[in-house]
Amino acid sequence: MATAGKDLSAYDKQSLPDASKLRIGIVVAEWNEDITENLFKGAFSTLVDCGVDSEAIFRCDVPGSFELIYGCRKMQESTYGASRPTKALDAVIAIGSVIRGETAHFDFVCQGVTSGIKDLNLNKTRIPVIFCVLTDDTREQSIARSGGIHGNKGSEAAIAAIKMAALKNS
């Protein structure tokens, strides 16, 4: 395996765009909650580490990975703010985990989520949606990618969100 023994989540804060004014939504699937919660923690801590105000990070939970599409669309269409004037988000991160089972269900869910999130990136809101859905064969692979030996894909998604938000705002 090409990723054996490698932590793929390292990033250089100095090379990233300014994230201090960004507003980021994170939609988290409850299915495989131990995995998705670790991905969320990785995304959240990376966003804060890179300068995003913790109060400018908005979370929404959905039952499973297939429901991420609807949750992300709702976030794209909504405005957020309590102490600040409400405004749209700069990016949304979709966090889920689908682990292969004994039936074709895995293939249908993975294809549907991938296609749905792609479609959200083409819609009129122009708010990028970052794909952070693990599609692994085993639970061990998911653990390795959600804070284990291969780092945390949530952290990688946070970096992608910062970069795509900067592109959107340029």
Cα Rg of the chain, angstroms: 15
Residue 22 · residue 162 · CB < 8 Å: yes
Residue 19 · residue 51 · CB < 8 Å: yes
- pLDDT tens sequence across 97-144: 999 977 777 778 889 999 999 999 998 888 999 999 999 999 999 999
Neighbour count for residue 93 (Cβ, 10 Å): 30
Please tell me the predicted confidence (pLDDT) of residue 81: 57
Q: Is it the case that residue 82 has pLDDT exceeding 90?
A: no
**pTM of the full predicted structure?**
0.91
| Residue span of the structural domain in which 65 resides | 32-169
Q: What is the CATH number of the domain that holds 147?
A: 3.40.50.960
In a domain, 111, yes or no: yes
Angle in degrees, CA 60, 64, 69, rounded to 5: 65
Please tell me the predicted confidence (pLDDT) of residue 65: 94
Cα–Cα distance, 101 to 138 (Å, whole number): 9
Catalytic site residue 105? yes
Which of 13, 21, 87, 105 is the catalytic position? 105
In a domain, 62, yes or no: yes
Q: Is it the case that residue 2 has pLDDT exceeding 60?
A: no
- pLDDT tens sequence across 154-167: 999 999 999 999 99
In a domain, 161, yes or no: yes
170 token code pair? 């340029």
Average pLDDT value over all residues in the chain: 90
In a domain, 5, yes or no: no
In a domain, 2, yes or no: no
Q: How does strand 24-29 pair with strand 57-62?
A: parallel
Q: How many domains does the chain have?
A: 1
- The alpha carbon of 162 is separated from its chain's Cα centroid by a whole number of angstroms, namely 11
In a domain, 11, yes or no: no
Q: Is it the case that residue 3 has pLDDT exceeding 80?
A: no
In a domain, 165, yes or no: yes
In a domain, 6, yes or no: no
Nearest CA to 98 out of 64, 146, 130 is that of 64
Mean pLDDT, to the nearest integer, of 58-84? 86
Q: pLDDT band for position 5 (50/70/90)?
A: low
Q: pLDDT band for position 63 (50/70/90)?
A: very high
Count, residues in the chain = 170
